Structure 1
């Protein structure tokens, strides 16, 4: 008899908490956010509106269309998205009073890593520890590791080589589209970051797949069929429910119990945790055995004078996790996008090859970094690809301080989430004319320098990506090496590669035909 009143009270509570109070707050408008247009009909009342957009697969594309009309859009009851590039310094700049949003706390594990730590003094401590590992001077010491992975990538390309595409033909035979450049770029970055960070050879480039071992907390070792599936499954499931930060833990458990598709992704997340734990545990055993290795892990354990940093084990595992995640996937996406954009624009590809061929000898297999690091058109091609197809598209959320802060000249009340999508920012036609055009020339000379404050592929300010130098090293060496050695062709010249948005903008497969260039003949013709 008591269950009927109990159910009624429960229903009343849920209706009041989930519907009545949000609606009342919307009209009461204590923070003055109702003046901003909503992303959809529910955005001002509940975060379910933005979660729906995330579920649809490409929320930044919708934001872009809306930001053509509105500088500020309300994407949640307490969240604003900005489309005016002048907001970058207010939200992300060195002088900004905004801090990382509670979004990062929701996604954090038992210990924070550099990317999700919110507290500024704690972030400064972490960055001081890690900055030595990512310093520009270390690139020369790690170039041989990148070169090694490039050699292995090229072996893979050689194994997939076909006969040249007949003159005048633009569409290859489908059976020749045997190299998935998207997957192989990811094998490259995973192998590279494991070597740079942990002095471990994953061997994905040698295997031609990403089978890997993981380790559970009880020490059980087991094989995981796909590293990438675990990494991307984790990103997918988190990106769909993370926007309701207060409900994240509840939603994660609810979806894992009730929704079969989510249950599969949460199992992949368990695999990801096992992959990271195994990597960190193996490297710790080597450290305890007395091995002194020139890698990221060594920097975590002790400073340059050999003084222990005395980090907790959970913090070490967290830093290994973000290194193996963000330190691989965004660079792999950037590599894929650069190749895709160049193949879609053959005149630009020809101009870039001319620059590369002018400094690289015909017999050089791996492009020496010292020869190519200052090539202006190569860097312009990479930056233009990062502009038009940024790997991380979602608006990195920040939170105004309790006292509030000015953004674009408006006072925004305290503890309000503010953000800007790189996909949106990089399409502002007032700064980037003809924004949908892949135009590397815009980055050359003084006009290119003027664009840098509006380029947020690596975020900006004190929380900007600490690994950008390593990313450029990997992108530069691999792209220069493969373009110097090979020709590539997509299924068709105007191919639209599939993309969906998690926390990154994930491209689908990029199946290419690959064949060797005849450099001797080409240079003979030029002579």
Structure 2
């Protein structure tokens, strides 16, 4: 043997080996006793879930890194029910009442708070409206930013929003007339449009993606940062190994994150230094939100990244999903086309107010965000020291609790045929009897409560305008190579492959009336 375990003939164990054996035995005893405690005696031991998950965070962390957490958590709920335990101290709900109990809180009473184990502080070390666990700081930042996202602001921003969507239609028309005869990847065009628009609203200048038909390097950095963030969250599940696991992240990735932040800082500082008479976010912040008295410059830097991502990628995702599912259901697609073309007589009819009243289009978008929620990952919170009641059941102090939108909206007890695209389930006056029992409150793509999506109004405007103008101007068909497009992984956001469309000019629409 390479190491002599016994000294001479007296069978005495060497001190070094004795220490090693002691450490190994202690580790085994600790791990086994911890597992037994977590499975049988923990305050959450009565909540069902996979046995391994009850005493180990490894399955949870691995599902994050592999990009399949949303399907894993959904499968657990279908097997174990509306309340499950998927990590030693983390429970998940698919009971729709949990939305208001966990997220729709009042600051004056004990409530669930942000769980920093599952959120990443921006690279400048200053918390954003999304990452801060401090309710006071969140409310202060939100009040400062809220004016820029109000319905009044959106009305003033409408012409700017329209201009970018008109440019999208023009560029898609050029694709139809070009060498590829209208065969194009919709995902890229939607990302370019929404990033240009929200970039202009945030920084006072677009990224010029539509003009160049290419991604700006900043946008590539945004997508790179998503996987980095997932790795960070997975590593934070193991505090003793956190620093070691973070070192496994390539330095090139962390450098890109820093480059991403620095570019945002430059753009935001440049816009703040200018005085422009235009209805962008900075104008509302300075004129009506109290300026930098209510939100610091560093907080603006942290929030600018969030605003760009939240106002662009999520809308592009929802629209991609809508087009995909409509293409899988030709009768529903034709009903949408008919509604738009019957109600929109000229290109001047494309107003946000008019589009908001197109019932079937709104139902298609609601159903798209249900079956393919733009943010499909879990939304973790931590119970207060007093504990809380969620969906009629007590949650012990400091328990982590969350809802995963994908699991909630695909849960078979919430929706009949949860994997089928059925816009009619959202129509009050003609909902099929089969779907009358659907619990539509289960689908909350913009979340709920004081921390819900601040850009909801803008997102609806983008989606309605783009979808309606697309089917007004073009005949749309998804190509066979995108038949399985929906099979995607998630790293906070969906990792979307190309959605290849075949576009053709609408034959009965004069060139002068193209919107």
Match of 1:220 in 2: none
- 2:508 and 2:382 map into 1 onto residues whose CA distance is 54
2:476 aligned to 465, 469, 488, which one? 488
1:96-115 Cα distance to aligned partner (Å, 9 max, x none): 82112123554444111111
SS of the residue 1:461 aligns to = coil
Which consecutive unaligned segments of at least 5 residues does structure 2 have? 1-13, 511-515
* Other structure's SS at 1:326 match: helix
Describe the superposition over 1:220-265 as per-residue Cα deviations: whole angstroms up to 9, x where unpaired: xxxxxx33321111111211340453657964x6456445xx4443
**8 Å Cα contact 2:120/2:229 also seen in 1:** no
Q: Tell me: CA distance 1:280–1:349, structure 2 relative to 1, closer, same or farther (3 Å).
A: same
How far, CA to CA, are the matches of 2:30 and 2:260 in structure 1? 38
Residue 27 of structure 1 is matched in structure 2 by 36
* Residue correspondences, number: 484
- What is the correspondence of 1:453-464 to structure 2 with a 5 Å cutoff? 453-464=441-452
Cα distance in 1, alignment partners of residues 324 and 335 from structure 2? 16
User: 1-side partners of 2:17 and 2:46: how far apart?
Assistant: 38
Q: Deviations over 1:484-520 (max 9, x none)?
A: 0011222229811141111122321112121101125
Q: Write the deviation string for residues 81-121 of structure 1: whole angstroms up to 9, x where unpaired.
A: 22232322222233582112123554444111111121222
Q: Where in structure 2 are the equivalents of 1:41-440 lying within 5 Å? A: 41=52, 43-70=53-80, 71-94=82-105, 97-103=111-117, 105-109=119-123, 110-161=125-176, 178-211=183-216, 226-245=217-236, 247=238, 251=242, 254=244, 257-258=247-248, 262-286=250-274, 290-303=275-288, 309=293, 311-361=295-345, 364=347, 367-440=350-423
Return closer, same or farther for 1:370/1:88 CA change in 2, 3 Å cut-off.
closer
CA shift for structure 1 position 404: 1.3
Contact 1:366 1:481 in 2 (8 A): no
Q: Counterpart of 2:5?
A: none
Deviations 1:145-177 (A, max 9, x none): 1111111111220121059xxxxxxxxxx9657
What is aligned with 1:223? none
SS in 2 for 1:513: strand
* TM-aligned CA distance change 1:338 to 1:14, over 3 Å: farther
In structure 1, C-alpha distance between the alignment counterparts of 2:245 and 2:375, rounded to whole Å:
25
- Decide whether aligned partners of structure 1 residues 125 and 351 sit closer, same or farther in structure 2, where only a CA change above 3 A counts: same
1:459 alignment partner, SS class:
coil
Which residue of structure 1 aligns with residue 4 of structure 2?
none
Q: Is the 8 A contact 1:255 1:263 kept in 2?
A: no
Contact map agreement 2:230 2:492 (CA 8 A) in 1: yes
Question: Partner of 1:488: helix, strand, or coil?
Answer: strand
Of structures 1 and 2, the larger Rg is shown by 2
CA distance in 1, matches of 2:55, 2:315: 37
What CA distance in whole angstroms lies between the structure 2 residues aligned with 1:128 and 1:440?
Answer: 35
Report the TM-score, using the length of structure 2 for normalisation. 0.85
Shift of 1:366: 8.1
1:441 aligns to 2:424 (yes or no): yes
Structure 2 distance, partners of 1:472, 1:14, is 58
CA gap of 1:475–1:307, structure 2 versus 1, over 3 A, is closer
Match of 2:495, SS state, is strand
Q: Residues 296 and 33 from structure 1, CA distance in 2 versus in 1: closer, same or farther, beyond 3 angstroms?
A: same
1:142, 1:7 → 2: CA distance? 73
Deviation at 1:186, TM superposition (A): 0.7
Shift of 1:133: 1.2
Structure 1 residue 365 displacement after superposition: 8.0
Does structure 2 retain, via aligned residues, the 8 Å contact 1:392–1:457?
Answer: yes
**Distance in 1 of aligned mates of 2:264 and 2:291:** 25
Q: Tell me the SS of whatever aligns to 1:464.
A: coil
Structure 1 residue 465 corresponds to structure 2 residue 453: yes
Report the more deviating stretch, 401-410 or 363-372. Answer: 363-372
Are the counterparts in 2 of residues 39 and 63 from structure 1 also a CA contact under 8 Å?
A: no
- Within 2, Cα distance between the matches of 1:297 and 1:407? 39
User: Partners in 1 of 2:15 and 2:282 — Cα distance?
Assistant: 58
Superposition RMSD in Å = 3.2
User: How far apart are 1:334 and its partner, in Å?
Assistant: 0.9
CA distance in 1, matches of 2:210, 2:221: 18
Moved more, 174-183 or 400-409: 174-183
Residue aligning to 1:499: 488
Is the CA contact 2:78–2:412 (under 8 Å) kept in the aligned structure 1? Answer: no
Whole-Å Cα distance in 2 between the matches of residues 277 and 5 of structure 1?
Answer: 58
Q: Using the alignment, how far apart are the partners of 2:403 and 2:476 within structure 1?
A: 35
The equivalent residue for 1:214 is none
Distance 2:32 2:277 in 1: 60
Quote how far apart the aligned CAs of 1:196 are: 2.0
CA shift for structure 1 position 22? 5.5
Shift of 1:124: 1.7
CA distance in 1, matches of 2:447, 2:384: 20
Structure 1 residues 32 and 310, CA gap change in structure 2 (3 angstroms): closer
Distance 1:443 1:249, change over 3 A: farther
TM-score normalised according to structure 1 size: 0.83
